Chain A
Amino acid sequence: MPSNREEKLQNRIRRLRFDNGEMTQQDLAERVAVTRQTIIALEAGKYVPSLLLGFRLAAAFGVRVEDVFQYEGGSSK
């Protein structure tokens, strides 16, 4: 049974960009084939990406998906 607790998907995209040679939003957008506005929305937590885009982002940084995204809350119990 799902709980009423709010689910959140946080990400470290901004941090990872800076850790990867201060990659610009445009550079990252081109690498993962999205618009820069989508990267902005992702970093602002205004958009939750598809699983496929999540994996593409992780691949762009050379890390695992769970290093990019952190799931919080909403556990069923």
Chain B
Amino acid sequence: MPALQKFAWFNLAVIAWTVVAILLLLPFLGKGALGGFGFIGLLGLGPLFFRRRPGQVLADERDALIGTRSLIAAYSVFWVVFVLAAVFLTAVVYGEDGAVPVTVVRVSVGAGFILVHALASIAMLVQYAGGSKDAE
């Protein structure tokens, strides 16, 4: 399994664990459960999958292409979601003259980060599974 594919599975596992942890803690800790976002820090271990080993090719042009495409797809979707949420959802939920609570803004940052990484990881796994037909 290529290093990037392992990296994608690891990211999804960390994200899944983070979301589950927050949801499990929410009934007991309320807003304090948002501390569960700290588990996202585990993503920082991702580069360990790209440790250089003598004579081993960790990633090549196909991996680079898959990675680039995945990030483009993830950020494209994120941007649409972000704009829709910022322009319409806030108006619907809080009203035209309402105020968005600080906690919601904080959670949005974490949620956006999770969304981008989850989408990118899924896109990577889909491309590895199905094969990427075109190359640059």
Name A residues whose Cβ lies closer than 8 Å to a Cβ of B. Answer: 29-30, 33-35, 37-38, 41, 44, 46-50, 52-53
The B interface, classified by DSSP as helix, strand, loop or mixed, is: loop
26 CB < 8 A contacts A-B = A30-B57, A33-B60, A34-B60, A34-B61, A35-B2, A35-B57, A35-B58, A35-B59, A35-B60, A35-B62, A35-B63, A37-B5, A38-B60, A38-B61, A38-B63, A41-B131, A41-B132, A46-B130, A46-B132, A47-B62, A49-B61, A49-B62, A49-B135, A50-B135, A50-B136, A53-B60
Q: B5 contacts which chain A residues (CB < 8 A)? A: 37
Q: Is B55 an interface residue (CB 8 A)?
A: yes
7 A-B pairs with least C-beta separation? A46-B131, A34-B60, A48-B135, A38-B62, A35-B2, A37-B2, A35-B57
Inter-chain contact A34/B62, CB cutoff 8 Å: yes
Inter-chain contact B57/A50, CB cutoff 8 Å: no
In this complex, the interface size class of chain B, counting residues with CB under 8 Å from chain A, is 10 to 19
Q: A33 contacts which chain B residues (CB < 8 A)? A: 57, 60
